[in-house]
């Protein structure tokens, strides 16, 4: 397989975009990505776009065709990718494989979601479809409820505390203050998280990611071609994807995401690296407990020690492992765009373009995107050329 690199990125701000449509968000991120790559639209040979639930959110399907149309890229092939909250990450891996295989030399990968056009209850139903509708959502098990079950089991088995989970949100907001595209620019305290009201015990409002509008895009190119063009690039050196039971009831364990562990194992093997080689990670923290499980499942800390690692400051910027310098999903989670946004952040970090949130001398980065409660996981490892 051929080497593949990211040569251009684009990202809208994340938040409630009442004055912008999904089409406008797509165009904004896509144009940014093309401009930063130094290419022109005619150089792009295919599109892969992540989008989870546009039919429910804005009554628009056929997003692949919409992407090509809005970006002026007809008649090239354009494919929508859906894998719940991992739609963007799986779209990235699909684009990566298409270039690595030799099918194309240059492709665009995007992700988008416009979530604020419907009520909170309607959004909850749409998001609930990422789990098992028949055995979970139908019986009232929303996504906060599913992650609350995992949190309770983690607390029971390892002594993880609500205060430790709250630290995940505190750290995310602190990092988000440094990111101009973050949905929130407000620091919070552990006390504020603890008093923010239960959504599904032990998870409180400030333990949860928000409802968000946004889009992100990257341009992928065969690495030798990028070198010849003299374009600053970040090479994707590992890409792993794995699956697990859609419903929690089918999982072997509630304290880990087995798909994350398998996807990471594949990506580490491809990259010939291990957890200790990673300088910066953008991981999937849709809920605070997801952050703690991810830093364990990705191998940064032993199972059950994630909460203590938060307390000891081991996941802060420029610490043992810099986690979510962008602010993560806690500072914006337009589900179809999230996995691509993570790649945008790693690209900027590895090229030293992350501004005030820059991780010092970052050479190797990892992006981790999860679909639903863990039925899909995708991991990409990248390095600066």
Q: Please check whether residues 370 and 264 belong to one and the same domain.
A: yes
Contact 208, 190 (CB under 8 A): no
Number of domains in the chain: 2
Question: What are the pLDDT digits (tens) for 279-335?
Answer: 999 999 999 999 999 999 999 999 999 999 999 999 999 999 999 999 999 999 999
Q: What is the pLDDT of residue 19?
A: 95
Question: What are the pLDDT digits (tens) for 143-156?
Answer: 999 999 999 999 99
173: β partners: none
Q: Pick from 234, 269, 290: which residue ends a domain?
A: 234
- Let me know if 11 is a catalytic residue: no
The answer to whether position 127 is within a domain reads no
Sheet architecture: strand order including 376-384: 78-81, 46-50, 106-114, 213-222, 4-11, 234-243, 376-384, 364-371, 280-282, 322-323
Q: What is the pLDDT of residue 79?
A: 98
Residue 356 above 90 pLDDT? yes
Please compute the mean of the pLDDT values over residues 349-363 and round it to a whole number: 97
Q: Angle at which helices 258-271 and 288-297 pack, to 10 degrees?
A: 40
The answer to whether position 75 is within a domain reads yes
Give me the catalytic one of 85, 168, 208, 331: 85
Question: What are the pLDDT digits (tens) for 24-38?
Answer: 999 999 999 999 999
Residue 355 above 90 pLDDT? yes
Global pTM reads 0.97
The answer to whether position 254 is within a domain reads yes
Q: What is the pLDDT of residue 385?
A: 85
Give me the catalytic one of 17, 154, 333, 380: 333
Please compute the mean of the pLDDT values over residues 93-103 and round it to a whole number: 98
Q: What is the pLDDT of residue 357?
A: 98
Which two structure tokens, joined as six digits, stand for 126? Answer: 């749409």
Q: Please check whether residues 354 and 334 belong to one and the same domain.
A: yes
Q: What is the pLDDT of residue 230?
A: 92
Mean per-residue pLDDT over the chain, rounded:
97
User: Residue 133: which residues within 8 A CB-CB, separation 6 or more?
Assistant: none
Q: Please check whether residues 309 and 346 belong to one and the same domain.
A: yes
Q: Pick from 234, 269, 302: which residue ends a domain?
A: 234
Nearest to 173, CA basis, from 285, 279, 85, 89:
285
Q: Please check whether residues 244 and 355 belong to one and the same domain.
A: yes
Please compute the mean of the pLDDT values over residues 43-62 and round it to a whole number: 97
Tell me phi and psi for residue 212, to 5 degrees: -140, 145
Element (H, E) at 339: helix 335-350
Residue 191 banded pLDDT, cuts 50, 70, 90: very high
Please compute the mean of the pLDDT values over residues 260-283 and round it to a whole number: 98
Q: What is the pLDDT of residue 42?
A: 84
Q: Please check whether residues 193 and 330 belong to one and the same domain.
A: yes
Q: Please check whether residues 262 and 273 belong to one and the same domain.
A: yes
d(CA 366, CA 238): 9
Q: What is the pLDDT of residue 87?
A: 98
Q: Please check whether residues 54 and 172 belong to one and the same domain.
A: no
Q: Please check whether residues 178 and 315 belong to one and the same domain.
A: yes
- Let me know if 286 is a catalytic residue: no
Contact 213, 116 (CB under 8 A): yes
Q: Please check whether residues 268 and 228 belong to one and the same domain.
A: no
Q: Angle at which helices 143-158 and 120-128 pack, to 10 degrees?
A: 70
The answer to whether position 10 is within a domain reads yes
Residue 12 banded pLDDT, cuts 50, 70, 90: very high
Please compute the mean of the pLDDT values over residues 31-57 and round it to a whole number: 94
Q: Please check whether residues 171 and 265 belong to one and the same domain.
A: yes
The answer to whether position 126 is within a domain reads no
Contact 8, 33 (CB under 8 A): yes
User: Residue 291: which residues within 8 A CB-CB, separation 6 or more?
Assistant: 165, 168, 172, 283, 285, 306, 310, 323, 324, 328
Contact 202, 148 (CB under 8 A): yes
Write down the residue that tokens 């009442």 correspond to.
Answer: 18
CA distance to 85, 175, 207, 332, per residue, from 30 (Å): 20, 25, 31, 19
CA distance to 93, 200, 256, 280, 298, per residue, from 357 (Å): 26, 32, 29, 11, 22
The answer to whether position 295 is within a domain reads yes
The answer to whether position 130 is within a domain reads no
The answer to whether position 308 is within a domain reads yes
CATH of the domain at 276: 3.40.47.10
Write down the residue that tokens 């679909």 correspond to.
Answer: 371
Contact 88, 340 (CB under 8 A): yes
Q: Please check whether residues 227 and 376 belong to one and the same domain.
A: no
Q: Please check whether residues 220 and 275 belong to one and the same domain.
A: no
Please compute the mean of the pLDDT values over residues 64-80 and round it to a whole number: 95
Percent of the chain with pLDDT over 90: 96
Residue 40 banded pLDDT, cuts 50, 70, 90: confident
Query: What is the full DSSP assignment across 199-228?
Result: EETTEEGGGBPPP-EEEEEEEEEEHHHHHH
Residue 41 above 90 pLDDT? no
Write out the residue range of the structural domain in which residue 363 sits: 136-209+237-384
């Amino acid at each position: 397989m051929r080497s593949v690199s990211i040569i251009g990125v684009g990202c809208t701000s994340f938040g409630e975009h009442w004055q912008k449509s999904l089409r406008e968000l797509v165009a904004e991120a896509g144009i940014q990505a093309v401009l930063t790559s130094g290419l022109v639209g005619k150089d792009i040979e295919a599109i892969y776009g992540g989008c989870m639930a546009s039919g429910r959110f804005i009554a628009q399907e056929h997003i692949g065709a919409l992407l090509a149309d809005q970006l002026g890229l007809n008649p090239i092939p354009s494919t929508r990718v859906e894998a719940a909250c991992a739609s963007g990450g799986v779209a990235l891996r699909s684009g990566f494989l298409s270039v690595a295989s030799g099918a194309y030399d240059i492709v665009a990968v995007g992700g988008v979601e416009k979530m604020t056009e419907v009520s909170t209850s309607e959004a909850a139903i749409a998001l609930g479809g990422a789990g098992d509708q028949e055995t979970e959502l139908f019986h009232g098990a929303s996504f906060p409820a599913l992650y609350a079950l995992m949190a309770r089991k983690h607390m029971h088995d390892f002594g993880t505390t609500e205060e430790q989970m709250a630290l995940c949100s505190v750290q995310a907001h602190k990092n988000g203050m440094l990111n101009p595209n973050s949905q929130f620019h407000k620091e919070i305290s552990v006390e504020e998280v603890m008093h923010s009201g239960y959504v599904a015990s032990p998870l409180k409002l400030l333990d949860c990611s928000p409802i968000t509008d946004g889009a992100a895009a990257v341009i992928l190119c065969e690495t030798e071609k990028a070198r010849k063009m003299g374009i600053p690039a970040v090479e994707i050196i590992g890409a792993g994807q794995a699956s697990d039971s859609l419903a929690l009831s089918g999982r072997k364990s509630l304290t880990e995401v087995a798909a994350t562990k398998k996807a990471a194992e594949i990506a580490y093997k491809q990259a010939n690296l291990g957890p200790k080689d990673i300088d910066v990670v953008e991981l999937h923290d849709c809920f605070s407990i997801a952050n703690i499980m991810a830093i364990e499942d990705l191998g940064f800390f032993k199972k059950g020690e994630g909460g203590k690692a938060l307390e000891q400051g081991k996941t802060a910027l420029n610490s043992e492992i810099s986690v979510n310098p962008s602010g993560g999903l806690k500072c914006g989670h337009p589900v179809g765009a999230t996995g691509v946004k993570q790649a945008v952040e790693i690209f900027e970090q590895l090229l030293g373009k992350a501004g005030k949130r820059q991780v010092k001398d970052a050479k190797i980065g990892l992006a981790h995107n999860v679909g639903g409660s863990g039925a899909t996981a995708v991991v990409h490892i990248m390095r600066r050329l």
